[in-house]
Structures are given as C-alpha cells and as structure tokens.
Structure 1
Amino acid sequence: MKSKKNKKNAVNKDVKKAVKVSVVKKEDMFEARLHKHYDELKWLYCELYQQQPNPLNYFDDLIKNLKDFYEQREAYLKELDIAREKNTNWYKGNDFIGMMMYVNNFSGTLKGFEKRIPYLQESNVNYIHLMPLLTSPKDEGDGGYAVADFRNVQEELGTMEDLRKLAKKCHRNKISICLDFVMNHTSNQHEWAKKARAGEQEYQDRYFFFDNYDMPRLFEEKCPQVFPTTAPGNFTYLEDIHKFVMTTFYPYQWDLDYRNPIVFNEMVYNMLYLANQGVDIIRLDAVPYIWKQLGTNCRNLPQVHTLVRMMRMITEIVCPSVLLLGEVVMAPEKVVPYFGTIEKPECHMLYNVTTMATTWHTVATRDVSLLKHQLDILASLPKQYIFQNYLRCHDDIGWGLDYGFLRYQGIEEVAHKKYLNDFFTGKYPNSFSCGELYNDDESLGDARLCGTTASLCGIEYYDKQKDKDGIQSAIDLDLMLHGFLLSLSGIPVIYSGDEIAQYNDWEYKNDKYKQADSRYIHRGAFNWRKAGRRKIDNAIQAKVYQGISKMEKIRLQYDVFSTDANIYTLNTWNKSTVALVRETENEKFIGIYNFSEYEEMAWIDEQDGLYKELLTKQKDFKASGLKLLGHGILWLWRSKKA
C-alpha cells in the first residue's frame, strides 16, 4: 500500500504529465492552423510582393513572428480560441448586442470603465466598441485616428496594462471588446514618420514620398478627395525637407505604402499585439484605401482584398477567436466583396452603411420604397454575411443612397441631398430635427449630417418647446427606429447615450474639444445624471431606456432573431409602412414600422394562423389589414409547431 506522500507525488506527476500533454497539444494546434493556411498565405504573399527582392525572406520573418505572437497569448485567450473554433457562430445568435463609446466620455479612464460594467449588463450589452484610445497627438489626433504609437494608450486614459486588465474583466463578464485598428496611415508624430522626416530612406519607403509634384500630380488625376473642403488634395508639402508626402485624409496623417512588405508585416504585428491584450474584434479602419496604385482611383483595388484575406488567415492561425470588422463606407456594390467568398472569406463583419443612411432618408420622406428595396437586396445575400447595424456612430451620416433607384421616382441626387440636410438641420418647414452639417461643400451640393438619435428624432426640439405631444411623438419615432434596428439581420449596435435619449452637445462650438468639428456634437460626455432618470416613471430617459430594453429582452428570448433566419419583406400597399419578416423552421416574426407621424394602414394579409403581438403580449392577433399609430410598431410572432 502506497503512503500518502507517495500518492501525492504520483498525483503531482500525473498532473505535470497532463499539463505537458496539454501544452504539446496546443503547440501542435498552432502548427495545424498554420498548415491549413500555409500554401495559400505563401502564394498570395509572394504574388503580391513578387517585385520585391527576396520576398520569401519577408514571408519567413512573418511566419516566425506569428509563432511568437501565438506563444505570447495568455492561457485564457488560447482557451477562448479553442472554444470559438468549435463554435464559429458564437457571434451570430440573437444574444449579441453592442454599444460604442469613447472611454473618456463614458468613464473617464480605463480603470474607471470597470465600474461601469454593471450598467452595460443592465443595458443588455455584451459587446463594446471602444473608440480610438491609442496614443495620438492632442492637437492633430483626428479623434484618435492619427495614431502615433500602436502599442500604447493615450496617457489620460491609462496604460496598455489597464486595457489588458479591462479586457480580462470584460471576458469574465462575457463582454467582448472591439478596438479600432487604423491601418491606412499613421500620425506624422509616429516613430516611422519622425525617422522619415529626418531623412532615413528605410522609413521614407514606408510612406509615399516624392521630391517634386510630378508624381503627385499624376495621382491626383484619378484619386478623388476625401475631404475637399477641410483637407483638399491627397498630398502635403513638407517645407522643412522639400518633399511631398501622400495624405489622403488630413495633412498630419501620412498614408502607409503597403507595396512595401515591411509595412504589411509590421502592421500585422501591431494588430496581433492588440489581439493579445484581449481584444475580440479588430475594426479595420478605412480599409478600401490601403493600396495605392498610379492610374487608378486608389480605392477598392484587388490588392486590398489580398491584404485582407491574408489578415483573415493570420488571425485564424494566431488568434482564431478574433473577428475582423471592415469599415467600408462605400456604395453597396463595393461593400459586399469585403466578405470575400464562402471558401475564401475576408472580413467576418461589415458595417451596414447603406441601410443606416436609407433609414434616415425614410424618416425625412416618410416613403419606405427605397428602404424596402434595400432590405430585399440584403435578404438575397448569403446568411454567412454578417452586418453590423446601427442608427448612427461616432462619425457623420453621409447620403450614400441608391440614386439610380430614386431617379425612377423623379428624385435627383443633388437636390435630394439638400432636402435631407435642410430637413435634419431644422431649415425645412415643420422639421423637428436639430442636426448640424459636416464638410459642407456648396460646389458639389454635398454635406454630411451630425447629431444624436434623440436630437435627430425631435426629442430635443420638442423638449425645448415644452410640447408634451411633440415629445411623445418624437419618443415614438426614436423607439420605432430602435425596434427596426433590432429586427434587422445582423448585430445591433447602439451609440452610448442614445439609450437614454441624450441630446446634442452644443458646447463643442465653445472650444470644449480641441480641433472640434461638428462631429463632436454627438460625441459629448455621457450624462450619468440623466442616466439616473432611466428608472423614473414618465421621464424622457426612462421611456426611451425602458422601451429599448424591453425590445432587446424580447429579441433575446426568440430564436427567430438569430442570423440563420430567412428574411424577406411584405408589401403593405402603403408608402409609409414597411413589413419585415424573419422566419425559421419553427417560428415566424413580422415587424411592421410606420415612418409617418400619422395613423397608417399596413395592408398585409398573412393567412397562416394567429399571431402574438410581442410588445403588448396581445394574443390571437390577425396579421391582416393592420392599423398603426403615428410612428407605430408591431412585433408579431407565432410558433409554427403543431
């Protein structure tokens, strides 16, 4: 019979042996993942950089570093990788609800953010998008999108260690984190830019430098301007070194040259470094712009898709629990290709930019025809294509609508953009909206819209007028829009503050923010005092917060809201109402939305049984000839089980 001491030693040996086997398996796992993608990754890499001397040397360096980043991942992240590999649909259910915010506005610091996790949980949020928080110049930071150091956090927010600890706490509370990865450019204060400016050729080769304007002039012939009014042109002349540098966005943001394999490798390492801090979703900022080629418009080039495909494979090798979210603010036909193909995927998720803009167009026109057309296009896409849906974000609303469709209704682009901007800035007769314009270009008849959802819906306007009926109508519109958002296929994301009907921050005009432009009107600090009113009966904040929360909880209860549901629209024979159907083998849902402030009818006629109205819990509801109040909403559901 063995002694207790011998038994203990035997157990310890068994544990050590098990741990050793576990470690070996995890190492084998990396090799297996690499083997799966190695041939395609090598082929794409060498094809892309075939003009470079010895591209295999750069490729070998990439592979070596991928292994290093894998080994540096914390154990809990490796376990998360394994779990999500087994359940690749982990983000596609009806239980994923997002919120985006600036850390300084929401909690002050990263450490302070931890104290706000209970509020997020109360708000049904399990996915947070932390707006740019990496080191950037205070005066020329573009809201954090001019990154000076990809491996450090803005000093006033905390440290990278604070971010790592926050990510770990969020994971313990089943909250996923999204972080921006600004890959098109760096700040002119980045280490590379400083060395380039000092004359080091190796670092000038990481950007687009020219000794005279001959080449920039040729680029300008085809390359459109992003901000023609506030930042005209695509190049900036550096007086101190007598050179031109490409600056597609702002003069202090220098475009990276991905024709140089060192740039791709080093930026991948920066991305993986952020993933190793516990970031779950990497938002690829301005991804269509990352490859520049003379004689083209430098947008959406085939090489961009090669780069994104390689990044997708790299994350699947090193950190397969991490998702890529592509920011593609383009026409619909330019957006969908960034999903790649089913066999060779690129981004896991994309922004549903067109539906966002079309939704606000529908608010202003009270005509759902374009929105229905847009929903029908989305319904025709493969279910594997996951969109992130939103009513607004940190940026402006651009009117990228389907003007080919609108022309059949006699609507012309320039005149219609003016109407929309006049409506949402309160210039149009009987408008209730309080928005502001950004980048107003009178020569093109174009501008972008800014404002919080509550202010665009009229809650701010009617509140100032002390018009109770107007306030209620505006709240109804706000809730109807959020209900529509929550019934779309994909992931709903709310901008922080919208859940408590936060108004525009007009103090941005008083130099409250450095380099303030009109986008800061909807980037104001979260009002925790008003958030405290979310539980006070009849308070505006309570009506909006509780109304949204009610719909979010209903969404969580019914599988028909998962992304594998079939989606289609019904004809309502009414220009102001739209009916969206979600259907699975066992359930059917019909969401009906009135974009008019007046009572309207939805002339649908579904003869497949009686429904339950989920918002009022009314049973035995006939889905036929339905009357909706102004800005009304109906959520009809029925079980298809016998």
Structure 2
Amino acid sequence: MDHLTFIYPELDIEPIAQNLIRTMRLDEDCQSPLAHKNLWDQTDIAVITYGNSILSDNQPPLKTLHHFLQAHFPMLINTVHILPFFPYSSDDGFAVSAYKQVDPPLGDWSDILRISADFHLMADLVINHCSAQHEWFTNYQKGKSPGRDFFVEVDPKEDLSKVVRPRVTPLLRATSTPRGTQHVWCTFGHDQIDLNFANPKVLAKIVDIIRLYLDMGVRIFRLDAVAFIWKILGTNCLNLEETHEIVRLLRTLIEHADPNAVIITETNIPNRENLSYFGNANEAHCIYNFSLPPLLVNSLVTGNCRYLKNWLMSMPPAQNGTTYFNFIASHDGIGLRPVEGLLDDSEQEALIQTMENFGGQISWRALDDGSNKPYEINISLFDALKGTTAGEDDWQLERFVCAHAIMLALEGIPAFYLHSLVGTTNDYERMKEHGHNRAINRRQWQEQELNERLADPESHHHKVFHKLRRLIKLRREQPAFHPNATQFTLHLGDHVFAFWRQSLDRRQSIFCLNNISDQPQTVSLNAINLIGTDTWKDLVSDATFDDMLASITLDPYQTLWISNRW
C-alpha cells in the first residue's frame, strides 16, 4: 500500500494492492525475507549467454547449452544468465513479442526447468518496452484491450529535448489507431514500444509475468533498461523517483514470494546514478558494475591504472544483502556512459581509436542539441586486448587473462560472458549479416567445432579456457573473495593495479597485485605490509614469500594472489 500510494497518489490503491498480492499468491504463501542477508558467497560464478550461442544438430539449443555447461564447468559455474529466450521481433531478443512463451527455435519451458534445476537461473524481465508485434501493441492499434491504454502517447509538439536516450532514432513513432494518428514513445527504437507504467494495469501484467518466471525456476531477475520506465514531460525521464519506487515494490513482492530470489538492475548510466539503485538495501540486491569494463580495458591498453584506481577508491562497500555484479564483457558492448566524469574526453578518444584499430565498431546516442555521441564500443574482449595504444603485440593472451583475474578478485559476484570463456574473436560475418554492430560479439558456435578447438592445446581457445577455469577454481576456494569481504585499494604506482581483500571472519587476507603493463614491474613486499608472523603464498604460482623485505618482479600482465591461508 505504501509503495502504491507513492506511485499512484490519485488512485484508489487498495484493490490494486490486493490484485498484486493475489497474482503473486502471497495470500496463500507469504514468506518473510531477512534484511541484509547475503544470498551469495565466493563460490558464486555466473555465465552470460544467449540460448543459441552453442548449436548442435537435431537438438534444441537450450539442451545443447545445458549439456555444454554440465560437461565443461562442473562445480565451477553455478549461475546461468540466459539472455531473452522469448519470442521476439528484433534486437536479438530484447523486443519481446510474447513474455510467457519460450521461443520455439530454442526449446520450451521444460528445457528452462531442467537448467534451473542444475543452476541458479537468471532471466531478463524486459520491463521498459515490448515488441511492436506484441499482442498488446496490435490491440492498441485496433483500440482493443488489453493494450489499448498500455503505451505512452505524446503530442509531437511537446518539448522533449531533455529526454536522455541511448539511440539516435526518433523518440516518437506515428501510429494509426481508431482515434486517429497517435505518437507513441520509443526509447530504444520503433520496434520497441515503451510501456506506460502510469497505468496500474501495466504493472499488474508485469507482476503476473514475474509470478510465471518464479514458477519456471527463475531465481534472479535482471530488470532490463529499468531506469527509463517512468516518464514525466519536462524532465530527462531517467531515474525518476517513481522508477525507484517501482523497483522497491517489485523487490517487496518477489522476496515475499521467494526470500532467495534476487533482483539485479541493468542501468547503463553514469556511475553515481547507477549506485542509486541499491537504495537503502531495499531496491536491487545487485547492480551491474558498468564502469568496470571500460576502465579496465583502458588500463590494460594504456598500461596505466590511475583512472581505474581512482574509481575503485570512490566505490562504497556494498551493504550486506547487496553486492556488485562484475562483468567485463557482454552481449552488448563496452559502455561509455558509465565513464562520464571518470575518463576525460582525450582518454575516451584514445580508447575508441585503439578499439577501432583492433576491429571494433562504435554505436552512438543522440544528445539534446541534435548531435550524436559515442555510446558504446562493440568488440569481442579477446580482440579488444590484442595490443596497447601503440598497436598489436604478443601479450594478448596474458592481457586477457589478467583482465579476468582482476574481475574474479574484486568485491562482488563475477560474471563471464560465454564468448570470453572460450576466447571468441570478432565475428564480422555475423555483424554484416545482421546489420548492427553488436552482432560482432554474438557468435553462434557449432558445439562439435568448439569442443575440437577447446581440446586442441595449440588453440588460443584451449589456452584461454583452461587458464580461466583454473582461476575460477582458485577463487571459489578463498573466503577472502566473498562478494562482501573487505576491500582496500593499494598504492603501488600506475603500472600495478593492487588491492587487498579480507574474509568476513578476518582469518584470510589476500593481496591482489596485477601488472597491467607490457613491462616487468618490481614491488617491495614491505610496501604491501605483509605480516611477518604469517606465511604467505601466491595462490596463482604457488611461490612462497619468507623475506618480508624482499622485492618481487611481476612479468607483463602477471597476477599475484598473495594469501596467508590456502
């Protein structure tokens, strides 16, 4: 009632509240979540993938994916984010045309249930918009329900210059209806029509979808593009208070249905705005750490971690019951909005130029003055790290592994894009075929071909795969790598990115040292204050350290995890 009163102050909210409670079946089984409870530990590792990233003959792709993960990552990966697996019309799944179905070419709900029985299943709640081919929008065009009042209509004469958008297409789409031509709001493009959450019937439909997903084994809900869901003319229509209240409402409903369920907000926006979705530990359980990918790639191609280090020092420790969702590659690209205010323009320009030199493409967004600005870099992470600002070199594999070692050690839950785990490179043919830049990093592998490459010791796919598997195994065994364990930034110059982690029980300390340059770097053990009464060992190389006054030399892109417990 409190949530709804804030969102809909002019409406009679009691029947709305009772309907939501019935839809979530909280009138039958309402559980009590514990505040500030960590629903994760150091063993939680996620993989992000499309349902059809791996294919085999005569088998639904979801079955192939399930088999591949079981075969190659037993006891290593326990969480699977399957990107939208519903029928869709565009945007590789994010223009959903039927929320309650599994896309038939992928499989069916029985495949989803089998995966959710073996892994924590993360699914997208594409909350801001639906496909122009969804029944709701076709009904809108006919003046029928449900759908007739589900979309945001705007007079094109209104001043919309303040609206923040991630695309360059026109915001409004002219649409024929029985009431004449109407103009509907489309944040992401004319095939993705924004839903009107000012109508509580829309909210009720979304809650009904959430209930189904819970029944189908979904434990983790990724709220896609949630920052855009509420519109008020004259504002930027981003991160509005009603948006945050809807997230709090969904959190309340979901966690009282399943106290082990988790909400993750996908808000590809500047860092400070992104952090606001933690609320007071009452909104998202996890937020995407969107600033990490561009800052980390920038550090590794420049050999200088100054910006990355400054950012890490500014990040607040997540309260218990919340944590960061760390990733460095995804199905989209390397976002540039999250480094606004963190990287200056010249650094961004140098990063963009370097990525273009390595085969990357640039996607753009529209500004309120009518100009365009780079929005994201589209490139596979393996190719993004094939060299430095000076050009390509022989350190690609080491640089790539170093990036993931850093991600694995940082505060938060690490998430690997499937294509990073197997060292997939830029897919220019798929990009050309699909006609959009993001397809460059959305390859579809034949399972047999991929297995052959992973089994070939000379293949870079094999080398990447086995090095990352080993690091994952090491991470899972360290209490100091709990997502909420203490973290402090260390200052060892601009070429060694270093930080300290300490387990929640304070028994284990790990000093994480990463040479992010293409030159050897020497560090004095005295500089990191190893306690002389403890015995210290590098978990990665098995080297031990007895002389606390000695110096150590890190090879280019070498990582040390120096621990007092193993």
Do the two structures share a fold, i.e. TM-score over 0.5? yes
1:327·1:351 contact (CA, 8 Å) conserved in 2? yes
Q: Which residue of 2 aligns with 1:29?
A: none
2:135·2:147 contact (CA, 8 Å) conserved in 1? no
Unaligned runs of 5+ in 2: none
1:130·1:178 contact (CA, 8 Å) conserved in 2? yes
Deviation of residue 88 (structure 1)? 4.2
Q: Which residue of 1 aligns with 2:64?
A: 112
Q: Which amino acid aligns with 1:198?
A: K
Deviation of residue 114 (structure 1)? 3.4
2:509·2:565 contact (CA, 8 Å) conserved in 1? yes
RMSD of equivalent CA atoms: 2.8
1:601 aligns with 2:550: no
Distance in 1, matches of 2:91 and 2:102, equals 15
Within-5 A mapping of 1:256-335: 256-335=195-274
Distance in 2, matches of 1:191 and 1:498, equals 37
Residues 445 and 206 (structure 1), Cα distance of their counterparts in 2 relative to 1, 3 Å cut: closer
Deviation of residue 148 (structure 1)? 1.1
Q: Which residue of 1 aligns with 2:132?
A: 188
Distance in 1, matches of 2:98 and 2:474, equals 43
1:183·1:287 contact (CA, 8 Å) conserved in 2? yes
Structure 1 moving runs of 4+ over 6 Å: 68-71, 84-87
1:450·1:521 contact (CA, 8 Å) conserved in 2? yes
Distance in 2, matches of 1:545 and 1:122, equals 14
Within-5 A mapping of 1:324-473: 324-342=263-281, 345-378=282-315, 380-400=317-337, 402=339, 404=341, 406=343, 412-413=344-345, 415-426=346-357, 433-439=358-364, 443-458=371-386, 470-471=393-394, 473=395
1:587·1:638 contact (CA, 8 Å) conserved in 2? yes
Within-5 A mapping of 1:497-576: 497-511=419-433, 513=434, 516-526=435-445, 528=447, 529-572=449-492, 574-576=493-495
Residues 396 and 123 (structure 1), Cα distance of their counterparts in 2 relative to 1, 3 Å cut: farther
For residue 115 of structure 1, give the secondary structure of its aligned residue in structure 2: helix
Distance in 2, matches of 1:304 and 1:115, equals 39
Q: Which residue of 2 aligns with 1:178?
A: 122
Q: 1:154 aligns with which of 103, 112, 119?
A: 103
Residues 402 and 447 (structure 1), Cα distance of their counterparts in 2 relative to 1, 3 Å cut: closer
Q: Which amino acid aligns with 2:484?
A: D
1:47 aligns with 2:6: yes
TM-score under structure 1 normalisation?
Answer: 0.80
Deviation of residue 303 (structure 1)? 0.7
TM-score under structure 2 normalisation?
Answer: 0.90
Q: Which residue of 1 aligns with 2:556?
A: 630
Q: Which amino acid aligns with 2:427?
A: D
For residue 152 of structure 1, give the secondary structure of its aligned residue in structure 2: coil
Deviation of residue 436 (structure 1)? 2.2
Distance in 2, matches of 1:68 and 1:483, equals 42
Distance in 2, matches of 1:446 and 1:116, equals 36
Q: Which residue of 1 aligns with 2:185?
A: 246
Residues 206 and 561 (structure 1), Cα distance of their counterparts in 2 relative to 1, 3 Å cut: same
Distance in 2, matches of 1:278 and 1:162, equals 11
Distance in 2, matches of 1:70 and 1:102, equals 35
Bigger share in helix? 1
Residues 66 and 404 (structure 1), Cα distance of their counterparts in 2 relative to 1, 3 Å cut: closer
Deviation of residue 316 (structure 1)? 1.6
1:121 aligns with 2:80: no
Q: Which amino acid aligns with 1:493?
A: A
Structure 1, 181-190 or 561-570: larger mean CA deviation = 561-570
Distance in 2, matches of 1:158 and 1:182, equals 20
Residues 304 and 510 (structure 1), Cα distance of their counterparts in 2 relative to 1, 3 Å cut: closer
Distance in 2, matches of 1:537 and 1:87, equals 46
Deviation of residue 575 (structure 1)? 1.5
Deviation of residue 564 (structure 1)? 3.5
1:129·1:177 contact (CA, 8 Å) conserved in 2? yes
Q: Flag the structure with more relative contact order, 1 or 2, with Cα contacts below 8 A and sequence separation at least 6.
A: 2
1:619 aligns with 2:544: yes
For residue 497 of structure 1, give the secondary structure of its aligned residue in structure 2: helix
Q: Which amino acid aligns with 1:452?
A: S
Residues 366 and 551 (structure 1), Cα distance of their counterparts in 2 relative to 1, 3 Å cut: same
Distance in 1, matches of 2:63 and 2:450, equals 22
Structure 1, 196-205 or 586-595: larger mean CA deviation = 196-205
2:313·2:489 contact (CA, 8 Å) conserved in 1? yes
Distance in 1, matches of 2:411 and 2:329, equals 17
Distance in 2, matches of 1:65 and 1:55, equals 15
Deviation of residue 492 (structure 1)? 0.7
| Identity between Structure 1 and Structure 2 (%) | 22
Deviation of residue 202 (structure 1)? 6.4
Deviation of residue 449 (structure 1)? 0.8
Residues 423-445 of structure 1, C-alpha deviations (whole Å, 9 max, x = no match): 0121xxxxxx3322223889445
Q: Which residue of 1 aligns with 2:94?
A: 145
Q: Which residue of 2 aligns with 1:37?
A: none
Residues 445-471 of structure 1, C-alpha deviations (whole Å, 9 max, x = no match): 524211222111118xxxxx9x9xx44
For residue 367 of structure 1, give the secondary structure of its aligned residue in structure 2: coil
Residues 468-518 of structure 1, C-alpha deviations (whole Å, 9 max, x = no match): xx44x111101111111110111111111212211111112442x4xx311
1:531·1:541 contact (CA, 8 Å) conserved in 2? no
Q: Which residue of 1 aligns with 2:144?
A: 200
Distance in 1, matches of 2:303 and 2:5, equals 53
1:482 aligns with 2:404: yes
Distance in 1, matches of 2:19 and 2:249, equals 15
Number of residue pairs the alignment of both structures matches: 549
For residue 581 of structure 1, give the secondary structure of its aligned residue in structure 2: strand
Q: Which amino acid aligns with 1:146?
A: A
Deviation of residue 625 (structure 1)? 3.8
Q: Which amino acid aligns with 1:178?
A: M
Q: Which amino acid aligns with 1:269?
A: D
For residue 498 of structure 1, give the secondary structure of its aligned residue in structure 2: helix
